[in-house]
Chains A and B, each alone.
Chain A
Amino acid sequence: MNAFLLWISQAQAESGQGTFWLPPQSSTLAEKTDSTFYFIYWVSIVFFIILMGAMLLFAVQYKKKSDADKTADLKGSHVIELIWAIFPSFLLIAMFVMGFKTYVYSIVPPADSLEILVTGKQWNWSYNYPNYGIEVGAADAIVVPKGKAVRLRMVSEDVIHSYYVPDFRVKKDVVPNRYSMLWFETTGELKGGQAYMLEDPKLPLSIRGCESTDENCTDGHGKEVAEFVTSYAKENNLPISGEVNVGVHQVFCTEYCGNDHSRMLSKVVVLEPEHFDIWLKAKMDYSPYKDKQFLGSDGKPDLSKVGSFLAKNQYGCMGCHGKSTYPQWNTLFDESGKGQSRGMTSGDNVVADYEYISESIRNPQAKIVAQYANVGNMSNYSGMPEQDVKAIVEYMKSLK
């Protein structure tokens, strides 16, 4: 039996594909969970066939023939009753033990795990690598090395969420005021740096992680990470072996958390450990003010482009402001760059100028536009450097 189960889960692991029942196995835990599942599955199938077979057989064979039918005087049998009370109990205990062992494996992370902080809030996930000082904004994917244990320490800023990666078979509630933990070690083959998931054009834009205006956007998380690593290695003459391959895995929120619950998605991007090290270095080194693609014709950084990067990738502003139910940035300034007047909950009208926007970033609850009184509280970015605020305001002005 065990050999059979092992065979099933290995066959699945080698194919890198999901089966009829389960998604691809992409973590060390997945194989263990799946063999527990298949044990329960086959026991259930056998019992279902026995029970329903007996039921149908009796119903057909002893179908009423006439009013003169006689029936057997059977009131029970202690022997039979004991058999069907005790025999399944052993199987149940086996299920419990298998599930318990795997569960113990899943709750004890190895001591040398890479720690990543995960913050859930309505309605996005953001990440922080505390040992490297790296922030990953809500629009970006979490990047992890293949074959190394990764531990997520998670907390919520508002209501309860739940972090779920089906390919890894991990899930854990993310609760306010309290840290919860899950860990995984990824396995499985990495593929060429193409976005290979979620390219279906029927998919809602928000699920693809796109801005609401960009109809041609495909999910580029895997591709973006691969290109980021490749170009950094090239510029800094770092040796890099072969193409940068990635694995992309879907993340869901599975605890109902309000309106955009079904859009509270994220991705895990898996890199080879050597590529991951380059990614870490690149992330630590990176400054959008030096990034060539954001330089203007005069050789100085184009602040609106830098601002666009900061808003999307560093601070994760677009996690909310990219959605139509949230305050929209393209109505803040008119064509000439003049700030527009907006009605506040206090009843005052305030012109959207640099001071107002700077205050709204650093102390979001100070003035609230009446129209958006109910969309939830924005986190405060009191520590945002002045030059970043300037860049973001320039980006806002460039939006029409």
Chain B
Amino acid sequence: MSTSTTTVAGTEEHGSNYLNAKKGIMSWLITIDHKRIGVMYLAWILTFFLAGGLLAMAVRYELLDPQPTFGAEVYNKIFTLHGAIMVFLVLVPAIPASIGNFVLPLMLGAKDVAFPKLNLLSFYIYVLGSLFLIYTLVTNQLDTGWTFYTPYSARTSTAVISALTGAFILGFSSILTGLNFMVTVHMMRAPGMTWRKMPLFIWALYATSLIQLLATPVIAVTLFLLVFERMFGIGIFDPALGGDPVLFQHFFWFYSHPVVYVMVLPAFGVISETVTVHSRKHIFGYTAIAASTIAIAGVGFIVWGHHLFLSGQSELAGAIFSFITFGVAVPTAIKTCSWIATLYKGSVRWNTTMLYTLGFLWIFTIGGLTGLPLATLATDVHFHDTYFVVAHFHYVMMGGVLFALITAIHHWWPKMTGRMFSEKAGKTVFFFAFVTYNMTFAPQFVMGAQGMPRRYHEYLPQFEIWHQISSYASFGFGLSLVGVLFYLLYSLKNGEKSPQNPWGGVSMEWETATPPIEHNFEGQPICKNGPYDFPEIEVDPNAAAH
């Protein structure tokens, strides 16, 4: 009985989908199929997520006690590598390079991305960059913090150059993927798919690509200058050589602020898809969401100075940056309200995907609202560089992006693998993950507001209770993510076979076979309906008469 499924599946599906059309390890390594590249990205990213996550556990383990456990030197390397791995190797490519690569051409009704070979090149550039970071990890490590602030980074004896080279190389992967996606969206939409009929996930990926293309060169130049300074002693950022250390912060955040939208815009895109498909409702305010996506991408370029309120930049600049930063809150609020309004009078499925979607909304709302006192000048003076900031960006980046990534993996898992995961396991693990996540980061708001600074391995005993709650909860959260990985991998062999359209989606990726055939579609598909025109929607006959 148990063997029959695999053999039957094997004979039945031979050559019928992208997973088994070609065989052997080389067929994966030199593939130019966007779906296989997306899967390879996902595997690589999740591997680094595991590494970054273990480092996070080590950070929390050190902080269980006010006294040093590993000591300053080790702790500084742990939190630096945790940040660098999570930002450069996980969060930036997390959704666009893996899920985006897999889904974007399918959603557009295209055979592949515009430049399939360039797509494979992007992947290998990413792998090359990641090797530099692995090299850093196994040799002299890094203790600058992921932000590489000068002049500390110009002076420390750790392996700054290999880490910077890695980040520099990773930047090119990001630029090329962005370019590829933009050309694909412009040139390869199926007949009938106008810009206003594009799924919102595509809008999000498009805006993301725009940022990657325009902002990433700046960080490349910055990191290059820093490598030059260290190698040849040319004074650019180190005041001992006549440089300006604050200039580095401007350059750095000119990239690194927009890049938080590279992380979070695709997350928004995922939520726009799942909140509609799993509530059987048309998205509330399609145009407003698409426009606010582009608005966030645009405004995101002119708010970097809010990281520098205390750095000695002019007070006037601080005030202007503060004001513009509030400008990001408006489109973000529009999106959140629209997603919640979409649930109204829907048919909301309480499945794993929807639970993670609701979890995302909860976490992102907290992350967004706690951004307000950080955008406000006077309160930011108090909260800057404390655990309040740590909690805020973990709510937005880690909670927001990670919950959306898990949502996306669940939503497109049947499409990618042809298997259904266990809903029961999914829902159980969700509740555990959601509770432990909030217990990990909510206490950090309190101790940060009380004055607990970032990047301390020893601390005053008044903060101990909050650190302990946070640490124990984080171990629980780590375990629940292992749980997610476990039931998903289990489903690969033992899961039920997925029907062709398990969620009743009406965007184009659900029109083809599940998993898709190698060339995505038989012939050229035509886009007939909008991405959110579900059959359950009861069209008001009076409205139709107009």
Contact = CB atoms under 8 A, between A and B. Distances in A.
Given A62-B343, A100-B377, A48 B455 contact: no
B317 interface: no
A164 B451 contact: yes
A47 interface: yes
Which 4 residue pairs spanning A and B have beta carbons closest together?
A: A166-B451, A99-B376, A102-B378, A262-B456
Contacts of A170: 381
Interface stretch (B26-34, B321-329, B471-479): B321-329
B322 A99 contact: yes
Interface string A172-184: 1101111010000
A268 to B, nearest CB: 13
Interface of B: 66-68, 72-73, 76, 143, 145, 149, 151-152, 155-157, 239-240, 245-246, 279-288, 310-312, 315, 318-319, 322-323, 326, 329-330, 333-334, 336-338, 340-341, 343-350, 354, 358, 361-362, 365-366, 369-370, 372-373, 375-382, 384-386, 446, 449-451, 453-461, 534, 536-540, 543
Given A18-B450, A71-B538, A204-B67, A84 B376 contact: no
Of listed B281, B286, B376, B378, residue having the most chain A CB within 10 A: B378
A48 B366 contact: yes
A75 B534 CA distance: 12
A178 B152 CA distance: 16
Interface string A297-311: 000000000000000
Given A40-B379, A63-B348, A263 B458 contact: yes
B67 A51 contact: no
B382 A262 contact: no
Contacts of B319: 100, 103
Secondary structure of the A contact surface, majority rule: mixed
Contact of A62 (B156, B240, B345): B345
A88 B329 contact: yes
Contact of A89 (B143, B330, B381): B330
B94 to A, nearest CB: 24
Contact of B151 (A69, A159, A203): A159
Contacts of B459: 262
A247 B319 CA distance: 33
Nearest to B65: A202
B358 A71 contact: no
29 contacts: A40-B373, A51-B337, A52-B365, A55-B343, A55-B362, A64-B350, A69-B347, A71-B281, A73-B539, A74-B281, A76-B284, A76-B287, A77-B284, A85-B333, A88-B333, A92-B329, A92-B372, A96-B326, A98-B378, A104-B315, A159-B152, A166-B382, A166-B450, A171-B382, A171-B385, A175-B239, A177-B239, A204-B66, A255-B149
A97 B114 CA distance: 48
B379 A36 contact: yes
Contacts, number: 278
B366 A175 contact: no
Nearest to A255: B385
A253 to B, nearest CB: 7
B143 to A, nearest CB: 7
Interface stretch (A19-27, A137-145, A363-371, A380-388): A19-27
A73 B537 contact: yes
A81 B345 contact: no
A206 B311 CA distance: 28
Interface string A36-68: 110011011001100110110011001111000
A342 interface: no
Nearest to A252: B453
